[in-house]
Chains A and B, each alone.
Chain A
Amino acid sequence: MAISIIFLPLLSFIFCFLIGNKFTYRVYQILTTAILILCAIFSWIIFVQFLGTKDTEIIFILNWITSGNFIVDWSIRLDTLTAIMFIVVTTVSACVHLYSIGYMSEDPSKVRFMGYLSLFTFFMLALVSSNNLLQMFFGWEGVGLASYLLIGFWHHKDSANKAAIKAFVVNRVGDFGYAIGIAGIFFIFGTISFDNIFEQVDLFKDHQIQFLSLSFPTLDLLCFLLFIGAMGKSAQLGLHTWLPDAMEGPTPVSALIHAATMVTAGVFLVARMSPLYEYATFTNLFITFVGAATAIFAASIALTQNDIKRVIAYSTCSQLGYMFFAAGVGAYNASIFHLTTHAFFKALLFLSAGSVIHAMHHEQDMRKMGALFKKIPFTATMMWIGSLAIIGFPYLSGYYSKESILENAYYNSNSIAYFAYVVGILTALLTAFYSWRLLFLTFHGDSRSEIKIYEHAHESPYVMTIPLLILAIGSIFSGVFFADYFIGYYKKEFWDGAIILSKGSHKYLPLTQSLISKSAVAIGILVCVLIYANNLNRAKNLSYNLDPLYSLSKNKWYVDELYHKVFVLTFFRLANFFWKKGDEKTIDGFGPNGISWLVAKSSNYISMFQSGYLFHYAFAMLGGLVIILTWFLYY
Chain B
Amino acid sequence: MVDWPLLSVIIFLPLIGGLIILFIKEDEISSNNIKWSALLTSVGTFILSLILWLQFDYLNPSYQYIEKFRWFNDFNFYYHIGVDGISLFMILLSTFLTPICILASWNNVKKRVKEYMLAFLFLETVMIGMFASIDILLFYIFFEAVLIPMYLIIGIWGGSRRIYASFKFFLYTLLGSVLMLIAIIVMYRNTSSMSIEFLQGNYFAFNTQIFLWLAFFASFAVKIPMWPFHTWLPDAHVQAPTAGSVILAGVLLKMGGYGFIRFSVGMLPEATELFIPLIMTLSIIAVIYTSLVALAQTDIKKLIAYSSVAHMGIVTIGIFLVNQQGLEGAMMQMISHGLVSAALFLCVGVIYDRMHTREIEFYGGLVQRMPLYATVFMIFMLGSVGLPGTSGFVGEFLVIVGAFKFSSYVVVGAAFGIILSAVYMLYLYKRIIFGTITNDKLADILDINFREKIILIPLAISVIILGIFPNIFLDPMRLSLEVVISNYEVANAK
Contacts and interface: CB of A to CB of B under 8 A. Distances in A.
A179 to B, nearest CB: 5
B442 interface: no
Contacts of B292: 571, 574-575, 578
Contacts of A591: 171-172, 228, 231
A176 interface: yes
Contacts of B277: none
A134 B394 CA distance: 10
B231 A66 contact: no
A161 B430 contact: yes
A156 B398 contact: no
B418 A67 contact: no
B293 A67 contact: no
Interface string A583-603: 100011001100110000000
Contact of B436 (A148, A156, A582): A156
A180 B417 CA distance: 12
B325 A572 contact: no
Interface residues of B, number: 59
A212 B409 contact: yes
A600 B295 CA distance: 34
Interface string A609-620: 000000000000
A15 interface: no
Contacts of A142: 387-389
B296 interface: yes
Contacts of A576: 296
A206 interface: no
A67 B470 CA distance: 10
A172 B419 contact: yes
A161 B435 contact: yes
Contacts of B405: 187
A165 B426 contact: yes
Interface in B392-412: 393-394, 397-398, 400-401, 403-405, 408-409, 411-412
B287 to A, nearest CB: 13
A114 B296 CA distance: 36
Contacts of B324: 67-70
Nearest to A171: B422
A65 B396 CA distance: 13
B408 to A, nearest CB: 5
Contact of B387 (A69, A70, A141, A184): A141
B419 A212 contact: no
Contacts of A592: 167-168, 171-172, 231-232
B145 interface: no
B297 interface: yes
A450 interface: no
A180 B474 contact: no
Interface string B311-344: 0000000000001110011000000000000000
B470 A65 contact: yes
A211 interface: yes
B404 A65 contact: no
Nearest to B295: A575
Interface in B463-481: 468-471, 474-475, 478
Nearest to A165: B426
Interface in A214-236: none
B434 A161 contact: yes
B416 interface: yes
A575 B302 CA distance: 14
Given A68-B323, A165-B430, A595-B171, A183 B404 contact: yes
Interface string A561-589: 00000000001101110110011000110
Nearest to A123: B389
Name which of B329, B401, B403, B475 has the most chain A CB atoms within 10 A of its CB: B401
A249 interface: no
A180 B400 contact: yes
Q: Is the interface of B mostly helix, strand, loop or mixed?
A: helix
A183 B171 contact: no
A211 B412 CA distance: 10
A158 interface: yes
B85 interface: no
Contacts of B468: 64
Contacts of B231: 583, 587-588, 591-592
A175 interface: yes
Contacts of B411: 180, 183
Contact of A158 (B167, B412, B418, B435): B435
B394 A65 contact: yes
Contacts of B409: 212
Interface in B411-448: 411-412, 415-416, 418-419, 422-423, 426-427, 430, 433-436
Interface in A137-181: 137-138, 140-142, 145, 148, 152, 155-156, 158, 161-162, 164-165, 168-169, 172-173, 175-176, 179-180
Contact of A169 (B167, B296, B419): B419
A156 B435 contact: yes
A572 B296 contact: yes
Nearest to A63: B471
A418 interface: no
A121 B324 CA distance: 35
Interface in A176-211: 176, 179-180, 182-184, 186-187, 210-211
Contacts of A186: 401, 404
B3 to A, nearest CB: 32
A212 B413 CA distance: 11
B289 interface: yes
Contact of B297 (A155, A211, A579): A579
A574 to B, nearest CB: 6
B423 A169 contact: yes
Interface string A69-88: 11000000000000000000
B351 interface: no
A524 to B, nearest CB: 39
A200 to B, nearest CB: 17
A177 to B, nearest CB: 8
A164 B423 CA distance: 12
B168 to A, nearest CB: 5
Given A161-B434, A574-B292, A64 B400 contact: no
A62 B405 CA distance: 27
Contacts of A587: 228, 231
A451 to B, nearest CB: 32
B400 A183 contact: yes
Contacts of B389: 138, 141-142
Interface of A: 62-70, 134, 137-138, 140-142, 145, 148, 152, 155-156, 158, 161-162, 164-165, 168-169, 172-173, 175-176, 179-180, 182-184, 186-187, 210-212, 571-572, 574-576, 578-579, 582-583, 587-588, 591-592, 595-596
6 contacts: A67-B324, A134-B388, A134-B397, A142-B388, A142-B389, A169-B426
Which 8 A-B pairs rank lowest in CB-CB distance, beginning with the nearest? A68-B324, A575-B296, A138-B388, A187-B404, A575-B292, A575-B295, A155-B434, A592-B171
Given A67-B325, A67-B329, A572-B295, 12 more contacts: A64-B469, A65-B394, A65-B470, A66-B471, A155-B433, A156-B436, A176-B415, A180-B415, A578-B289, A578-B292, A579-B297, A592-B168
